[in-house]
Amino acid sequence: MARVVVDVPLAHLDRPFDYAVPEKLEDTVQAGCRVRVRFHGRLVDGVVWELGNSTDFAGALQPLSHVPSGEPVLTPQVARLVRTVADRYAGTASDVLRLALPPRRAAAEKRESPTPDALPEPPDPAGFARYTAGPALLDALAEGRPARAVWTALPGEDWPARLVELCRAALSGRRGALVVVPDGKDLDRLAAAAAGLLPAHSFTVLRADDSPEKRYRSFLAASRGAAQVVLGTRAAMFAPVRDLGLVVVWDDGDDLHSEERAPYPHARDVLVQRAWLDDCAAVVAGTSRTAEGALLVESGWAHELVADRTVLRAAAPRVQALGEDFELARDAAARSARLPSLAHEAARKALAADTPVLVQVPRRGYVPSLACARCRAPARCAHCAGPLGISPRPGPGGTRIPACRWCARPAATFDCPHCHGTKLRASVIGESRTAEELARAFPGAAVRTSGSTSGVLASVPGGAALVVATPGAEPVAEGGYGAALLLDSWALLGRADLRAGEETLRRWMNAAALVRPASAGGHVVVAADAGHPVVQALVRWDPAWLAARELADRRELGFPPATRMASASGSPAALAEFLEALRLPDGADLLGPVPERPRPGQEGERERYLVRVPRAAGAALAHALAEVQGVRSAKKVPEHVRVQLDPLDLV
């Protein structure tokens, strides 16, 4: 008999079902292969979870209807991971399997997956010699030991080469490796580095923009064990790597690592779970550091992989802050036409030295938030410390008063805990800058743009030019940039977002890391108050300090990752029914409701609640939420409640 997980999106059916294996299919059916079964009177797809010789079902088992292929696409290790992720995020195994398994292509299954001729030798440790424990990490990977590290890369580091060297070390010890990066631009750089450092056919690349057949061929190369190194974006976090010895996530603070489909897992958390389940090495890497990375170090689960301050100072560019500039902060559009003198001078010198200048500007469309009018600190709710915003619902007399975006409590009065200011102001909303305005400020200079509207550039030549880019779209310059201008800082720092400071530093450091060292004239100018903690972390190039500070602040206020949070959104009536059936664990804190921002295709009024529990109660919260979803599914309740654990966006 075969235990089959059917592709049915109903929470109360989240378990394998037993089916008889007909004698004619006994030689074809394998654990992990795709099948077609009859379920509730209709044919549906499924995956064989496991094979067995007995069943607890009292009646006669229905036979498998069809076996499209005997190819075992679901390995036992990935099956265990699928169940773990489903339980962690209050989802179902069928939801996770849709993320883990690409659609089948028969032509791809008929092709052989080439294997490498030989395993490589361990990599040259010179690349990691600048880091205190770098060579020791390579040795541990070559020996198959489960080393765990949070790596903060030096500015100017050739991080794709370093990540491939980690994979080569694991491969030399006959272990597989999996690397997940945020986007296609990063994946292209990583794949190019792998082509030069790894044997042919020893690695495969899983990218979302490949054709379905090519993507499936790459998937099969991993599942068959032909390629033991897998490189990809977030969908690759479930890749079936054989003899997994290393998992790596690069730039884990990037929101592209968060899956947009149920049950909304995050690549970093999935890879940490894989490292624990498979007892393998793990590296959480980036130019900056998240509070989640700081928690991994603080808990002892991972060790820091950093360079000495002497090495850091030699590699880093000179960073200067402009200080407070309230006039420019009030008028964000003025920055592009009227650059502060320090930024103008830094750009002029870099262009005169025939080096490119990077100008980073925020994306458009951030939701306006409120801040203290005196010190610009984000305004927080006195009850739950959530961000204050302007309520979309008019109050008495048609006026709109500040209210918490988490618990919806109005804030009729405000007292800033930092400076005791009593007035609020709207934070700056970022706007895209135009290349024409910068060209007027620097006549004669070539101007290039890189972003979602104009297209993302992978690289630019090393000559004098202005390169205007949005965060994440900064191209690599040949020889490095001579200067970088980080403008419109309050558009980033003033966002009503739990991760505003952490995310701002990540974006700034990713851009500043592309600038030449100070010894070669590299200069970074950030348009922000020099006394702000995020600016201080950039000036000192100390992301670990800010991450530890963020973690301590969030622990004091009860924010993730010190706690676990879940959001439940739906119509008011559906939410009322949902919460009435929900059995929250001890210590849970229910916040809301607040009006939910409409999503594309949604109609009618929708609200959202947040549930906050101690981190130790996270599994109990996920179980309680999944239980309610199962009951509602069994009752065929027509209105769906969207449940998401550990959402990145809490506003």
Instruction: Please give the annotated binding residues for Zn(2+), written as ranges.
Output: 372, 375, 381, 384, 404, 407, 416, 419
In the structure encoding, which two tokens stand for residue 259, read together? 């899956």
Distance CA 582, CA 93 (A): 21
Q: Which candidate, 551, 503, 495, places its Cα nearest to that of 378?
A: 495
Q: Which pairs count as long-range contacts for 415-422, CB under 8 Å and 24+ apart, including other chains?
A: 416/372, 416/374, 416/375, 416/377, 416/379, 417/377, 417/380, 418/372, 418/375, 418/377, 419/372, 419/374, 419/375, 419/377, 421/372, 421/373, 421/374, 421/375
Q: Show the tokens assigned to 509.
A: 């450091």
Q: CA 403 from chain center: how many Å?
A: 29
Distance CA 143, CA 571 (A): 55
Sheet holding 203-206, edge to edge: 203-206, 229-232, 176-180, 244-250, 281-286, 148-152, 303-305
Which residue from 238, 223, 220 is spatially nearest to 86, judged by alpha carbons? 238
**What is the rounded distance in angstroms from the CA atom of residue 267 to the CA atom of residue 258?**
6
> What are the binding residues?
372, 375, 381, 384, 404, 407, 416, 419
Query: Identity (one letter) of the amino acid at 272?
Result: V
CA–CA gap between residue 131 and residue 147 (Å, rounded): 15
Residues 7-38 as b/e (b if ≥16 CB within 10 A, e otherwise) read bbeebbbbebbebebeeebeeebbbbbbbbbe
Q: Which long-range contacts (CB under 8 A, 24 or more apart) does 391-396 make?
A: 391/595, 392/595, 393/595
Instruction: Extract the runs of DSSP E, i.e. beta strands, from 1-122.
Output: 2-6, 17-19, 34-39, 42-51
- Cα–Cα nearest to 5, from 41, 40, 42, 33: 33
Rounded to 10°, the helix 543-557/500-512 angle is 170
DSSP state of 13: G
